[in-house]
């Protein structure tokens, strides 16, 4: 779809611990084949994708990846500038990544001031059921307590990847 003719641009960020699968999720959604292991380069990495919302308008999504900085918890304020939606991502096989979700949520809230940001909690690597250690129920409880929805995704099996971004984008549009 021609991104130049879009009516809106939504800037969406993916946040969560290192290695939960943020870059893989983004590349899966943006349709970029993985050229080997995703590289933790400096700065912010942008991807874009245009989509047609069910309600009518065309939207250009600007998707922001932390490019490895989450490892050092030194994400610059410019990363959060004009962000309207955030996917808070944890790995369902990594308990610590789930326990850090509240910290990521607070970090976004502290950088945004009064701006409204729409969040979606994402339990990623749902293909790894035999080693999972975070249940759907407790993830749903956390999402409810933080006032957001919860979804499970897998970039490996392409499970719910489009749906997660569509759900977030719909919620952003409804809040406009």
Judged by beta carbon distances under 5 to 8 A according to partner kind, the member of ligand GDP, Mg ion, none in contact with residue 123 is none
Applying CB under 6 A, the span of 3-11, 15-23, 99-107, 167-175 interacting with ligand GDP comes to: 15-23
Question: Does residue 20 bind ligand GDP (CB under 6 A)?
Answer: yes
Q: Tell me the closest approach of the beta carbon of residue 59 to ligand GDP, in angstroms.
A: 24
Task: Select the residue interacting with ligand GDP from 3, 19, 146, 171 (CB under 6 A).
Answer: 19
Q: Candidates 118, 120, 155, 168: give the one binding ligand GDP (CB under 6 A).
A: 155
Q: Could you tell me the CA-to-CA distances from 1 to 150, 170, 173 in Å, in that order?
A: 28, 18, 19
Q: How far apart are CA 176 and CA 88, in angstroms?
A: 21
Q: Does 171 bind ligand GDP (CB under 6 A)?
A: no
Task: Confirm or reject binding of residue 24 to ligand GDP (CB under 6 A).
Answer: yes
What letter does residue 36 receive in the DSSP assignment?
A: S
The backbone torsions φ and ψ at residue 131, rounded to the nearest 5 degrees and listed phi first, read -115, 15
Q: How far apart are CA 119 and CA 87, in angstroms?
A: 6
Show contacts with ligand GDP in window 55-114 (CB under 6 A).
none
Among 90, 152, 154, 172, binds ligand GDP (CB under 6 A): 154
Closer residue to ligand GDP (CB): 3 or 18 = 18
CA distance readout (Å), 94 to 28, 123, 128: 21, 10, 11
Round to the nearest angstrom and report the end-to-end CA distance of the chain: 23
Q: Tell me the helices (H) and strands (E) count for the chain, helix number first.
A: 6, 6
CB–CB of 51/43 below 8 Å?
no
Residue of minimal CB distance from Mg ion? Answer: 23
Place of tokens 């759907």: 136
**Binding flags for ligand GDP, 112-151, as an x/- string (CB under 6 A):** ------------xx-xx-----------------------
Residues forming contacts to ligand GDP in the complex (CB under 6 A) are 18-24, 38, 124-125, 127-128, 154-156
């Amino acid at each position: 779809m021609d991104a130049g003719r879009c009516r809106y641009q939504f800037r969406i960020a993916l946040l969560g611990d290192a290695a939960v699968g943020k870059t893989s999720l983004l590349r899966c959604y943006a349709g970029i084949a993985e050229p080997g292991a995703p590289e933790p380069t400096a700065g912010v990495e942008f991807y874009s994708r245009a989509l047609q919302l069910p309600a009518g308008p065309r939207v250009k999504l600007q998707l922001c990846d932390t490019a490895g900085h989450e490892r050092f918890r030194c994400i610059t304020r410019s990363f959060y500038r004009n962000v309207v939606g955030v996917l808070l991502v944890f790995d369902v096989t990594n308990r610590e990544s789930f326990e850090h979700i509240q910290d990521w949520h607070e970090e976004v809230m502290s950088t945004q001031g009064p701006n409204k940001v729409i969040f979606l909690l994402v339990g990623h690597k749902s293909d790894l059921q035999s080693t999972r250690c975070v249940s759907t129920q407790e993830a749903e409880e956390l999402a409810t307590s933080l006032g957001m929805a919860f979804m499970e995704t897998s970039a490996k099996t392409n499970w719910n990847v489009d749906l997660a971004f569509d759900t977030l984008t719909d919620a952003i549009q409804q809040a406009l």
